[in-house]
């Protein structure tokens, strides 16, 4: 396919951008419904959003009820909006007598069965004597016929809503796990196990604490949804534009300015966004055309945006909401996870920045002129109030309060900043309501005096926002969009609970871990004989090779399994399957959890399934596969970073012997040097253009640099030295007057 992007400067409309997001984000492709049905679904969406918002601030009901209500809402909205064979098909748009508001009768039946199965757990929790149903405690492991029926229904329907919102990949993976649980005696070798009784399996998947009603659905329904909603509302009230404007001010005037703006703005926006595709479309609508106008090839411009946007999912403090789940799994403070994620995210963006800079130098591209840059004073005079909700959210979060309380405060402040104006007294009701809530929490001992003062002052200050006030219909539309974004994440989390339940029931995680380490050990023994020249020279021990090969195997598995799955559900599934193997190799828990998260997110920019890159290619009007390759090469920092912090946990600011500043500084410098060398190899330019041999040598040197040892760094320097010398000589020759 020819890349026409350099000549096409068509500016995409909001409708065209929405169509691109719908095409490449499965969770955005919904079917059209009738007017009356649309009003009903809008009301359901608002009730769903308000329920989560209110319970975040005023207290959650019992877990089985809370998750039941969340799952019931997912069933209603998913079966109403996502057809059985794709929203873009002619069948989905067909009108017939067997549809109500363009929703087929069978989808309404599925919807009713889903709601019934989701709420049955709560209804039957204390038993229903009239139906002969005992308390839930007495039914664990010995389900009655009602339990089995609703359990089978919810398993099938959860798989179906995951398929409708995300495609076939995740449900097929889960079906393999279900088959393994039920057909254990028929599996070969180490994978063989006695098998799980069907009724026991249904009970395990259905009842709370594990399976569908386990930690995955709990975290999404109490934490992740709230941050998705906050991100959408904050963007709507102007925070996204504030990020882009400030990124332009910071980076726009330098070499290759618009591309660096893309990196910075996507990093900013990624901190509040739960979707790489949504991030790509939101920021790429501005940055990709600007890069093309500057002279970047379309596939490269799209790759920059996709790599930067995917990096937002690993950027503190929210990390696509995976940070909260990681804290839950590791039983560590949330702040520990955020601190650990700082350097790996920085390494990713160093790689993207370096490639962008070197490509700009190679193509002799300049930055934006002073006239093209936004004015700092004007940007902040107009948009300063939009940062108040984010500050409020982070202050509450890092003060030790629950994530859902911080999200409640962030959303409340976003509503105040968007809808309350000091010059329009009736609109101050929103600020007054939040201040009343804060004072009530203070009187009840929920907030201390300092936090009360900060939140009340923030609400009061936000009412002086100089921007045009957002009306109720616009805010309702933002909430509705937030719910729509959350449907795919919710469906995936419920479905992934089945994987977690199977792993806990069968122990397959440790079996797979043993198989990986054993296979890697055998391969390492064979390679050791070759690489040590029959024992004459020992560059690596067998254990070193085994660890490296195991990491490569697990990284490939994470990338393959992560195709098209939301960050939160992806992390939960991968950490359940891959982490036991890393634990057997002695990798510290936080390093192993970060490792699988990073390689899972890499799937967003790894061809052939790289949804972020495809969305960027649609905006850039470029070849999707070339755009994916560009995104992958730009994301090399994210590809090598996990290897680095597995070998040197000090990069995560944690190690078995404590944090050592000198060790961290040396190791971090070595890793950055490796990423820069890899970036130069990818672009084919450092000080001057590089030949094929020089690019190969720099690539090898970059990979060796990442290995955290003085010996490896010396070898890397020896490999890179001829290239560096040749580049310096060529540079001097080019700049010396004839």
Print the SS3 string covering 258-269. HHHHHHHHHHHH
The pLDDT tens digits of the residues spanning 133-171 come to 888 878 877 888 999 999 999 999 999 999 988 888 889
Domain range summary for the chain, segments of one domain joined by +:
14-217, 663-738
70 closest CA partner among 118, 120, 107 = 118
Residue with tokens 């970059």: 702
The pLDDT tens digits of the residues spanning 65-105 come to 999 999 999 999 999 999 887 644 444 455 555 778 888 99
**Alpha carbon 491 to chain centroid, angstroms:** 15
Q: How far apart are CA 288 and CA 259, in angstroms?
A: 8
What is the per-residue DSSP string for 530-570? HHTTTTT--SS-HHHHHHHHHHHHHHHHHHHHTTT--HHHH
Collect all residues with Cβ–Cβ distance below 8 Å to 208 and sequence separation of at least 6. Answer: 63, 64, 67, 121, 214
Task: Determine contact, residues 179/499, Cβ cutoff 8 Å.
Answer: no
600 closest CA partner among 574, 625, 619, 580 = 574
> Helix H segments across 124-273?
136-139, 145-166, 169-182, 198-206, 215-219, 225-236, 239-251, 257-270
Q: Strands (DSSP E) along 277-417, which ranges?
A: none
Q: How far apart are CA 457 and CA 98, in angstroms?
A: 56
**Alpha carbon 162 to chain centroid, angstroms:** 17
Q: How far apart are CA 290 and CA 305, in angstroms?
A: 12
- List of the chain residues with pLDDT < 50: 1-8, 87-92
> Helix H segments across 61-144?
63-81, 90-93, 105-123, 136-139
Q: How many CB atoms lie within 10 A of CB 209?
A: 14
Tell me what pLDDT residue 304 has. 86
Residue 651 CB-density burial (10 A; 0-12 exposed, 13-18 middle, 19+ buried): buried
Q: How far apart are CA 336 and CA 320, in angstroms?
A: 16
365 closest CA partner among 285, 253, 263 = 253
Q: How far apart are CA 481 and CA 223, in angstroms?
A: 17
What is the per-residue DSSP string for 641-670? HHHHHHH-GGGGT--TT---HHHHHHHHHH
How many residues comprise the chain? 738
25 closest CA partner among 481, 463, 493 = 481
Q: How many CB atoms lie within 10 A of CB 536?
A: 6
Q: Strands (DSSP E) along 329-453, which ranges?
A: none
Judged by DSSP in three states, 448 sits in: coil
Q: How far apart are CA 2 and CA 241, in angstroms?
A: 33
578 closest CA partner among 601, 553, 603, 602 = 553
pTM of the model: 0.84
Q: How many CB atoms lie within 10 A of CB 365?
A: 18
Q: How far apart are CA 49 and CA 71, in angstroms?
A: 13
Task: Determine contact, residues 51/44, Cβ cutoff 8 Å.
Answer: no
What is the per-residue DSSP string for 562-607? TTT--HHHHHHHHHHHHHHHHHHTT--HHHHHHHHHHHHHHGGGSS
């Amino acid at each position: 396919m020819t890349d026409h992007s350099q000549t096409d400067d068509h500016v995409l409309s909001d409708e065209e951008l929405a169509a691109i997001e719908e095409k490449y984000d499965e969770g955005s492709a919904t079917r059209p419904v009738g007017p009356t049905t649309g009003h009903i679904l809008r009301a359901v969406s608002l009730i769903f959003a308000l329920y989560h918002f209110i319970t975040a601030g005023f207290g959650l009901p019992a877990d089985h009820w809370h998750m039941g209500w969340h799952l019931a809402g997912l069933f209603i909205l998913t079966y109403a909006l996502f057809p059985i064979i794709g929203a873009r098909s002619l069948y989905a748009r067909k009108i017939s007598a067997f549809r109500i508001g363009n929703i087929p009768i069978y989808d309404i039946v599925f919807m009713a069965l889903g709601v019934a199965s989701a709420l049955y757990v709560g209804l039957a929790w204390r038993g229903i004597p009239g139906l002969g149903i005992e308390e839930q405690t007495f039914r664990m492991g010995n389900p009655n016929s009602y339990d089995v029926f609703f359990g089978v229904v919810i398993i099938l329907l959860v798989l179906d809503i995951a398929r409708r919102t995300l495609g076939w990949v995740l449900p097929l993976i889960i079906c393999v796990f279900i088959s393994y649980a039920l057909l254990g005696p028929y599996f070969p070798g180490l994978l063989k196990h006695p098998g799980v009784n069907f009724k026991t399996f249904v009970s395990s998947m259905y009842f709370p604490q594990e399976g569908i009603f386990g930690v995955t659905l709990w975290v999404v329904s109490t934490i992740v949804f709230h941050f998705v909603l906050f991100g959408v509302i904050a963007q709507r009230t102007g925070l996204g534009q504030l990020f882009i404007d400030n990124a332009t001010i910071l980076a726009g005037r330098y070499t290759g300015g618009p591309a660096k703006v893309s990196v910075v703005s996507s990093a900013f926006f990624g901190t509040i966004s739960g979707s790489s595709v949504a991030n790509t479309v939101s920021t790429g609508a501005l940055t990709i055309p600007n890069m093309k106008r500057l002279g970047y090839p379309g596939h490269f411009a799209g790759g920059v945006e996709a790599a930067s946007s995917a990096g937002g999912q690993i950027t503190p403090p929210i990390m696509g909401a995976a940070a909260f789940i990681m804290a839950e799994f590791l039983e560590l403070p949330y702040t520990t996870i955020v601190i650990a994620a700082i350097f790996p995210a920085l390494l990713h963006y160093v790689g993207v920045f370096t490639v962008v800079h070197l490509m700009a130098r190679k193509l002799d591209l300049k930055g934006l002129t002073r006239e093209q840059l936004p004015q700092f004073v004007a940007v902040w005079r107009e948009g300063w109030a939009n940062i108040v909700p984010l500050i409020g959210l982070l202050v509450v979060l890092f003060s030790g309060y629950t994530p859902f309380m911080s999200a409640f405060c962030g959303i409340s402040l976003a509503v105040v900043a968007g809808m309350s104006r000091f010059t329009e007294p009736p609109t101050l009701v929103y600020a007054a309501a939040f201040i009343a809530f804060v004072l009530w929490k203070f009187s009840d001992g929920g907030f201390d005096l300092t936090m009360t003062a900060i939140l009340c002052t923030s609400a009061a200050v936000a009412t002086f926002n100089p921007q045009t006030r957002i009306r109720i219909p616009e805010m309702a539309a933002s909430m509705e969009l937030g719910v729509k974004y959350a449907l795919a994440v919710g469906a995936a989390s419920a479905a992934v609970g089945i994987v977690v339940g199977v792993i806990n029931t069968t122990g397959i995680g440790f079996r797979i871990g043993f198989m990986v380490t054993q296979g890697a050990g055998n391969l390492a023994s064979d390679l050791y004989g070759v690489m040590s020249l029959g024992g004459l020279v020992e560059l690596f021990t067998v254990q070193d090779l085994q660890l490296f090969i195991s990491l490569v195997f697990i990284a490939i598995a994470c990338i393959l399994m992560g195709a098209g799955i939301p960050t939160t559900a992806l992390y939960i599934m991968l950490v359940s399957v891959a982490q036991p193997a890393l634990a057997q190799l002695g990798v510290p828990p936080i390093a192993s959890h970060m490792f699988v998260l990073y390689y899972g997110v890499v799937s967003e920019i790894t061809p052939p399934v790289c949804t972020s890159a495809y969305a960027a290619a649609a905006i850039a009007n470029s070849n999707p596969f070339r755009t994916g390759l560009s995104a992958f090469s730009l994301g090399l920092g994210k590809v090598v970073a996990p290897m680095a912090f597995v070998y040197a946990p000090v990069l995560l600011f944690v190690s078995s012997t404590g944090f050592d500043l000198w060790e961290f500084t040396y190791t971090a410098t070595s890793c950055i040097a490796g990423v820069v060398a890899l970036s130069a190899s990818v672009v084919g330019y450092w000080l001057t253009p590089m030949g094929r041999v020089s690019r190969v040598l720099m690539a090898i040197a970059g990979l060796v640099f990442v290995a955290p040892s003085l010996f490896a760094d010396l070898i890397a320097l020896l490999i890179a030295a001829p290239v560096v010398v040749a580049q310096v000589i060529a540079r001097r020759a080019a700049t010396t007057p004839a």
